[in-house]
Structure 1
Amino acid sequence: MTDPVLSTHALVARYGDFQALYGVDFQIAEAEAVALIGANGAGKSTFLRAIMGLLPVAPDMVRLAGQPIGGTPTDRMVQKGIAIVPEGRRLFTGMSVEDNLRVAVDQAERLGRKGGWSLARLQQLFPILRDKARTPVQSLSGGQQQMVSIGRALLCQPRVLLCDEISLGLAPKVIREIYAALPEIRAQGTSVVLVEQDVGLAQSASDRLYCMLEGRVTLTGASGAVTREDIGRAYFGGSHAMV
């Protein structure tokens, strides 16, 4: 692969005395989609939190275009070009769809982030954001809220978009609509990291995948090359494999 835009190197993370990640090596190239799979508690969300500066890690454990950024505060991670679609969406309730999105526009302007995403382009990607612009976000369906959350992250003009369980609890039709937007997001040059429980969806939507178990990577490979048997072994134990 080409030089990674984002990489981790022997990444270790803790919650107090509890060690959650054990030496995770990871990389993603520009405009690439990489899936991160594994059972609940495998460390996938912790991995994203560690990248975003929400957990203390050493600077050289996370690199952006080769530069050490580990442990950088979250707002400065956004300034550097990393945005997250968090599990649970975490929108500003009591505010409209448009107002939620304008918060991200204002943040990007304040941080000096420039890019190709605007409210108009985002509304083309997800028309519901135009149709429901004045609707309070708490009145939306779960799928519509997820589109707002993705849109908010994109308006931060990221080089790397971290997506934490964006299909969780959504109807299949809505999941297809959300995942159908990924090619256009990548066409902007954005790299996408997908934490995903649905293995089939993860494989079909990504170029490569990593499987995690108990804070360690147990499988890496091209998404089209790994088999369900490979993934089954990686999910439940066995030595690290690269396919």
Structure 2
Amino acid sequence: MTTVLSTHGLIARYGDFQALYGVDIDVAEGEAVALIGANGAGKSTFLRAIMGLLPVAPDMVRLDGQAIGGTLTDRMVQKGVAIVPEGRRLFTGMSVEDNLRVAVDQADRLGRKGGWSLERLHRLFPILKEKAQTQAQNLSGGQQQMVSIGRALLCQPRVLLCDEISLGLAPKVIREIYAAMPEIRGQGTSVIVVEQDVGLAQSASDRLFCMLEGRVTLSGASDQITREQIAAAYFGGSDAMV
């Protein structure tokens, strides 16, 4: 498979605090990769570093082999990388449709072309059509998450970064959101998902990476890694392996 996005010795800092230590992760076209690990392991920092929200060296992040580390966020969107941020970060006081049209307008402004439209998004998440004129802050948590995912998809990404998309949601809603992943990946979109639920992360991904204190402590095919290996990697046990 063709590698779309990769990191090479990725180091990231918040001021004097180093949060990532030489992280190497790659994702192929249409592949889903899951990142797991305890709070503070560096998972969200990894996504932020890719999106240009933290300063990193150009060669540390590559898209189609091109060095793009440190590229500003709007340029990352232009290149085909979009993020579903933790906490959703919708525009309150605006309707569902207006939140989504912001992404449509951004994609048009940046010259991004792709297969996602409001109509297709409504087929993926029918509730968004029903709630089109509802203000974002009046939606349930799950509905807000669908808007956040939809907004990212309407940027026509080749790589979709998902940060804790199941956080705080009811199991039924989580299943509904993750049921959309096959269609999202169906046209070749790659997905990197940060997920606290280990079982969900394994079932929703092709490969799994476990992080601990800013380093990858385990990686492999999601359906071949054992829970014992994950537990060791999660907490830094002697059986952790890469």
Q: TM-score range by the shorter chain?
A: over 0.9
* SS of match in other structure, 1:113: coil
Matched residue, 1:52: 51
Offset, 1:4:
1.0
Q: Give me the whole-angstrom Cα distance separating, in 1, the residues matched to 2:140 and 2:187.
A: 27
Aligned to 2:159: 160
* Superposition deviation, residue 241 in structure 1: 1.9
Q: Which runs of 5+ in 1 are unaligned?
A: none
Structure 2 counterpart of 1:32 = 31
1:74 and 2:106 aligned: no
**Counterparts of 1:54 and 1:70 in 2: how far apart (Å)?**
10
Q: For residue 62 of structure 1, what is the aligned residue in structure 2?
A: 61
SS in 2 for 1:36: strand
State the alpha-carbon separation in 2 of the partners of residues 94 and 126 from structure 1. Answer: 21
Q: Please give the alpha-carbon distance, in whole angstroms, between the structure 1 residues aligned to 2:2 and 2:123.
A: 32
For 1:69 and 1:4, how far apart are their aligned partners in 2? Answer: 15
Q: What is residue 12 of structure 1 aligned with on the other side?
A: 11
Unaligned runs of 5+ in 2: none
2:84 is aligned to 85
Identity of aligned residues (%): 84
Counterpart residue type for residue 241 of structure 2: A
Q: How does 1:103-118 map to 2 (within 5 A)?
A: 103-118=102-117
Letter aligned with residue 241 of structure 1: M
Q: Does 1:215 align with 2:214?
A: yes
Q: Distance in 1 between matches of 2:214 and 2:3?
A: 22
C-alpha distance in 2 between matches for 1:238 and 1:141 = 39
User: 4+ runs of 1 displaced by more than 2 Å?
Assistant: none
The equivalences for 1:95-106 within 5 A come to 95-106=94-105
Report deviation, 1:41. 0.3
Shift of 1:188: 1.7
TM-superposed CA distance for 1:28, in Å, is 0.2
Normalised by the length of structure 1, the TM-score is 0.98
Q: C-alpha separation between the residues in 2 aligned to 1:106 and 1:234?
A: 43
1:241 counterpart SS class: coil
Deviation at 1:3, TM superposition (A): 2.7
Matched position secondary structure for 1:193: strand
Counting only pairs closer than 5 Å after superposition, residues 127-206 of structure 1 correspond to structure 2 as 127-206=126-205
1:90 partner letter = R
Say yes or no: does 1:241 pair with 2:226.
Answer: no
Partner of 2:224: 225
Kindly indicate whether the alpha-carbon contact (under 8 Å) linking 1:218 and 1:238 is maintained by their aligned counterparts in 2: no
